[in-house]
Amino acid sequence: MTVRLFALTCGRLEVDMAAMMEGSSGREMVPVPTFLIEHPKGSVLYDTGMHPLLQTDPAAWLGPEKAARFGYDFKPGEEVSGRLAEIGRDPAGIDHVVTSHLHFDHSGGNGLIPNAELIIQQAEWDYGSDPERGARYGLDHRDLELGHPIRKIDGELDLFGDGRVVCIPTPGHTPGHQSLKVRLDGGEVVIAGDSCYFCRTLRERRLPARVFDREMMHASLDRLAALEQGGARILFGHDAEFWKSVPQAPAEIAF
């Protein structure tokens, strides 16, 4: 039962590195990744990237203050639906979206995947579905209000019941952040999302300046390290240097 994994770069963001990793400085352009997993029982997207308004008018979606914190390299066709179409996949045919968390560069493209079931951790839902509560942590309730069926989970979920695609809770960056473990024919891959921005985050345990819960995030990094020690390959969230080594769709990621 073969499972296929594809990496899609859905634009890039210029970020303040001091906010991304303790002890860093300057600004850097980082990738905004999404991932397509094809299983014999269904198709899965891990995250949907940015809202297409960020291609033309970021302030209209994010508000002027938040929009000004970033630089944008995000062109028409680089939104998740465009990337899928490039490789011959119908965005309307995606069965599931695993939402790592509700930050704008991870769930902003939900509306472009109209028929998928959204899978979200209960803790992320609890905060993110409440506009006032979620706003304290940068969570966008609008990405949950687009008419998708929503499955709220608490802990791990073996999506197809065979251990090949498993949601794993990795909170700390946000209340209910989750990563995705994918068992390919050659070995196991863990898509870390923002539980681990960079390779250096895992190696040096240098957290972002602001997180929901530092202790929880360190525990999630411990879990990723244990998975790596057990033979899994970690796909880091926004590591531009690491991303150069990741095959881009239509090429598959192989272990």
Instruction: Note the pLDDT tens digit of each residue in 78-129.
Output: 999 999 999 999 999 999 999 999 999 999 999 999 999 999 999 999 999 9
Provide the edge-to-edge strand list for the sheet that holds 96-98.
71-73, 4-16, 27-39, 42-46, 96-98, 117-121, 150-153
DSSP structural state of residue 252 = P
Query: In residues, how long is the chain?
Result: 255
Residue range 161-216, pLDDT digits in tens: 999 999 999 999 999 999 999 999 999 999 999 999 999 999 999 999 999 999 99
Query: Checking DSSP bridges between strand 96-98 and strand 150-153, what pairing results, if any?
Result: unpaired
pLDDT of the residue at 255: 79
Domains and CATH numbers, the chain: 4-243 (3.60.15.10)
* Residue 169 tokens, joined: 């809770």
pLDDT band at 228 (very low <50, low <70, confident <90, very high): very high
Alpha-carbon distance 228 to 66, whole Å?
35
**How many other β-carbons are positioned within 10 Å of the β-carbon of residue 48?**
30
